[in-house]
Amino acid sequence: MSQYQRRPIDLMASLQNVARGSIPLRAQERLAEEAGPHKKLFTSDLGVAEYLLAKDANCKPISQVMGSSIFHVAQIPDYKGTTGEMTVISDAHRESRRRAIARLFEEAQFVGADAVIGVHLRERMITMGKRGKGGDDGGEILEFTVVGTAVRAPWITHPPGQPVITDLSGQELWALAQDGWEPTCFLFEFMRYHVWHVTPQSIFTGEITEATQAIDIARVTASTRIQTQAAAFGTEVVVGSDIQLKVKEVPCGANECERNDLDVDLSWICTGIRRIPGARRRTRVDVPPLTLTLTPLGKRQDEIIEAGDDSEEVERAAEDAQEAALEQSEGR
């Protein structure tokens, strides 16, 4: 059998694995090859700078790992006349993400990783129904995919067989290691908050206080839940918060109703970190000289100046830029 040919797999057994929340048999086969003794190369979603700095931080890439989940939310309960969290949608988002991350976690376990770094989350939401708001006219389909690079990093503290997942890049992980810190966990939270009859009539001018309050409630609630998750992993600091906020106007749904509702979707992704027990901060870090590329305005747009150039060149470029700006202002 050619090295490019693969043995057939038991499709039903593979589907049963997925139904149990595990990974497909073909994925297990691929991971076994990449983690095996005869592996000649590895796949990774790290950039060049990320790879080199991660390597300098004693992180050896093993394989690219991923997990995905497509989750269907059936007919959403009627929420006309109510203001508050739509728990059916919030719970569905959390469960779908949890399953995708669990599969990425299992792939990392399969290759014996200490951590998964540079994790990226891709999501897509398809709203069903004629009015596009759920309730009594449809549901939603949620698609989540997480991708990262499994690494061996013996300096990262974790229980045996329980790799740490983080969305920190190779550069960020290197910087943490220099100062004696390590990642503890990958945190995520989602909340949909529905506001009933919030859209005012067209003649109104001013702040829509109900909408402002809804955003604040969603942020505070998500923040509290993130802190609870972080504490369970012994986290000291939460970094790299990526907060996505979407506010969507939706029809009320009642017959002949002229006022609309609002859906506030808040998604929060971040990483927990803590100081490595007994670690000492490096007093001196060997970093290559920083090169700044400056593009002067005006006459010398085709030239660049590096930080290592003579100060006279820098001053001359600044004077030229000022002259060009003055000429432009006088010509107006």
Residue 269: pLDDT band (50, 70, 90) is: very high
Contacts of 24 (CB under 8 A, 6+ apart): 14, 17, 18
pLDDT of the residue at 50: 83
More confident position, 320 or 73: 73
Other Cβ atoms closer than 10 A to 133: 24
Using pLDDT thresholds of 50, 70 and 90, give the confidence band for residue 319.
Answer: low
Q: What gap in Å lies between CA 263 and CA 265, rounded to an integer?
A: 6
Give residue 132's pLDDT: 45
Alpha helix ranges (H) inside 179-310: 209-232
- The verdict on pTM exceeding 0.75 is no
Going by pLDDT thresholds of 50, 70 and 90, the confidence category of residue 216 is very high
Determine the average pLDDT of the residues in 265-280. Answer: 88
Measured CA to CA, the distance from residue 190 to residue 112 in angstroms comes to 30
- Using the 8-state DSSP alphabet, how is residue 208 labeled? -
In the structure, what pLDDT confidence band is assigned to residue 261 with cuts at 50, 70 and 90?
A: confident
3-state secondary structure of 232: helix
* Beta carbons within 8 Å of 221's beta carbon, 6+ residues apart: 85, 191, 193
Fold for the domain defined by 45-275: Translation Initiation Factor IF3 (3.30.110)
Residues with Cβ within 8 Å of residue 234, at least 6 apart in sequence: 184, 274
Helix (H) or strand (E) segment spanning residue 181 = strand 181-195
Percent of all residues in the chain with a pLDDT value above 70, rounded to a whole number: 62
Paired sense of beta strands 84-85 and 115-127, if any? unpaired
CA distance 241 to 233: 17
Asked if pLDDT for residue 8 goes beyond 60, the answer is yes
Within 10 Å of residue 100's Cβ, how many Cβ atoms? 25
pLDDT for 238 equals: 92
- Dihedrals phi, psi of 43, to nearest 5 degrees: -100, 150
Domain residues of the chain, as ranges?
45-275, 298-331
Contacts of 174 (CB under 8 A, 6+ apart): 53, 54, 56, 57
pLDDT at 313 over 70: no
Per the model's pLDDT, the better-predicted residue between 328 and 176 turns out to be 176
Residue 147: which H helix or E strand, with range? strand 140-152
pLDDT tens per residue, range 122-161:
888 776 655 444 444 556 788 899 999 999 999 998 888 8
Instruction: Tell me how long the chain is.
Output: 332
pLDDT at 307 over 60: no
How do residues 190-212 score in pLDDT, each as one tens digit? 999 988 877 655 666 777 788 88
